[in-house]
Amino acid sequence: MNFNTIDHKIDRRCLISIRGEDEIFEIMKENMQKYNVFLYKNEGKMFLQVYIEKKSFAPRFFSMIKLISTFRETENYYSVMVDITENSGVGIIKELLSIRSITLGETYLLGNRIYLTFKYHHDYSISLTTTLIKWIDRKENIRLENIRHSRTFIEGMTLLVKSLPLTVIQTSTIMPEGHGPLYEIARQYPETVTEVDVRSMSITSIKCLSYAQQKIEIPDISTVSNRDFIYETIELSGSLMDRVLKLNELRIPRLATMLELKNGRLFNTTIVPSENSDEYIGIYSKFMKNVSQYDPRIEIYSNINEKVWSML
């Protein structure tokens, strides 16, 4: 993968925090350890899944966490699912994600606050600022933490893997038949890399950002930046949509998904917590078992380390 195609194109990141109001936030109030969390939306409700590494969790907090009804234990982690639909201020998440170019990045829990990183192109700074001012003015539990330049893709994953073991899974198929903007971009502009917003809160569509080497002229796409050749599409159906929704339904978090066409094959590079890599492969296998005509292949399955980037 040519990371130069995507690095510094979505060039800003905004970190906000929202004070939680559920039982788990009261329990974690005095615990200043950072825990990775993932957001999901299902049947109109918003859920927060908290991952707690066993070796870093104080026994006194465990005795309280294990009493929560959604408590789950695996070999290396405890996890808890929390319904935050009624949490004051969570509406800002949906409103920010509705702005062109904005996608959700790293999310974590620290004390009793949820921290959320929003990545965006600088041309949309005014829209982001207007939304922040409106919500911060009326919701005292929302706080702006910082606004900075974005990291490169590899920098972001290298930093995250220090607190959460990650696995990169790259698969490929012969370019499938299909219609819609993503298919047309891949066919007509094969040098383009497309980022799928796998952390999207929508259950009816998927936002995708395509990073091109030249101007793209295809119907039904939105221009993020003509200067930087960034385009946004909304996928409403198809195999990509089906797989993303199934992974969301099964609460399998993904940190990133990138699509690119190489030598007539469509490559899907996805990064997941290592704890969930077996589940991801299981879902992939179920989707691929009936499409042998597309010659599905698992190209790379590896923990993230310094050497793996040159293999992509």
- Best CA proximity match to 198, nearest among 131, 272, 296: 272
Same domain, 179 and 220: yes
Q: Given the structure tokens 């893997």, which residue do they identify?
A: 161
- pLDDT value of residue 103: 95
The reply to whether 150 falls in a domain is yes
Same domain, 19 and 100: yes
Same domain, 239 and 292: yes
The more confident residue out of 56 and 6 is 6
Residue 146 three-state SS: strand
Range of the domain at 174: 165-311
284-305 average pLDDT score: 91
Which tens digit of pLDDT belongs to each residue from 124-139?
999 999 999 999 999 9
Which tens digit of pLDDT belongs to each residue from 37-65?
998 877 778 889 888 888 777 777 777 88
Which tens digit of pLDDT belongs to each residue from 233-274?
988 667 777 887 788 777 788 999 999 999 889 999 999 999
The reply to whether 86 falls in a domain is yes
Question: Which of 110, 131, 160 represents a domain boundary (last residue)?
Answer: 160
- pLDDT value of residue 234: 86
Angle between helices 239-249 and 277-288 (to 10 degrees): 140
89-116 average pLDDT score: 94
Rounded Cα gap, residues 16 and 114, in angstroms:
8
The reply to whether 253 falls in a domain is yes
- pLDDT value of residue 237: 65
pTM over 0.75: yes
Same domain, 143 and 229: no
Same domain, 247 and 122: no
If one counts the domains in the chain, the total is: 2
The reply to whether 7 falls in a domain is no
Residue 119 pLDDT more than 90?
A: yes
- Best CA proximity match to 230, nearest among 3, 4, 6: 6
- pLDDT value of residue 281: 95
Rounded Cα gap, residues 230 and 149, in angstroms:
17
Query: For all residues of the chain together, what is the average pLDDT?
Result: 89
- pLDDT value of residue 201: 62
Residue positions counted in the chain:
312
Percentage of the chain lying above the pLDDT 90 cut: 55
The reply to whether 1 falls in a domain is no
